[in-house]
Amino acid sequence: MAYLELQNITKSFADAHIIKGVNLAIEKGEFIVFVGPSGCGKSTLLRLIAGLEPITGGRLVLDGQDISHVASGKRGLAMVFQSYALYPHMSVYDNMSFALKLAGVDQQTIRQKVSQAATSLNLTQYLDRTPKELSGGQRQRVAIGRAIVRSPKVFLFDEPLSNLDAALRGNTRVEIHKLHKALGATTIYVTHDQVEAMTLADRVVVLKDGLIEQVGTPLELYDRPANRFVAQFIGMPSMNMVAADAVPSFSQLSRGKLPADGFLGVRPEGVRVYPQGRGLGEPGRVDLIEALGADTLIHVDVNGTQLIARQNERTPLRAGESVQVELDPSVLHLFNREGRALHA
């Protein structure tokens, strides 16, 4: 039996069906990331697990116990919010220890737990400060520390890095990853940022319209997407899609496996762009060059179809130039009209 099981979970608000029957098994110690576009239900699902919203149907089972209707404070879970939710008049120490004090934990144990958490989060020198004296990244670490001292069965993170700038987001993401490895705690993390999902998760749960589209390791989702939605949601830039009748020479690369009304998918690194006359591919035109330093993204138009190529080397090509475009046949993905993957 899995450590945490979601069994046909549903959630409705009046006539609005938000979660439409989610089944998921999470093992002890796993780092699970819920990812999907805005409105897909990922934060709602996390709140149902936390007990902040009552479920409409189904069962939640944690460590063999049905917690479907157990009060939030008695589920043994700890949640870290996007907004930090710190008490502004309290010190860092008091913020981190507040829940333990309410639970009647003795002072020596509290000091020990707060000290250990502060050390792991590099907050020891800030324990006497109030939140207004901290940076955004430090405040988020305090919120994480407050969760750690409770020694919960499951950590729940609801887009905890959204309020941070890009540099802090990257640094804090690394800290969360290291912390998970050190604690070995079961973690569920909600984000709309696929980079966070790909770098943090043991398994990623892709949600759309209140349903799970696919569950798998980051590379499983990248290499073997179950459908067009997952294929184009996972990966940056997203997978190129070419209608079967748009560029006949590309469709022929499938050796007859692509339906006439289907779609051919290829990641940007599977697209090759050459100066005119140097390749055997389809003629095209460069629309845009994105020089990112380590990578170069080349936007090309092939017979009215927009494609993005990614290459490691820099390019002498310029916008407006005519080029030859080839696809690597070994990395193609085939999808039927409904968007279901047929072959990868």
Name the residue ranges covered by the structural domains of the chain: 4-228, 237-343
Instruction: Give the pLDDT band (50/70/90) at residue 103.
Output: confident
- Burial letters 166-196, b for 16+ CB under 10 A, else e: eebbeebbebbeebbeeeebbbbbbbbbbeb
Pick the CATH number of 237-343 from 2.60.40.1120, 3.20.20.140, 2.40.50.140, 3.40.50.2020: 2.40.50.140
For the domain made up of 4-228, give the CATH fold: Rossmann fold (3.40.50)
The 10s digit of each residue's pLDDT in 249-272 is 999 999 999 999 999 999 999 999
| pLDDT tens profile 174-187 | 888 888 888 888 99
pTM, full prediction: 0.90
41-55, 171-185, 285-299: lowest mean pLDDT where? 171-185
pLDDT given for residue 344 in this prediction: 47
Strand 263-266 with 322-327, pairing: unpaired
Q: For the chain, how far is it from start to end, CA to CA, in angstroms?
A: 32
55, 68 contact by CB (below 8 A):
yes
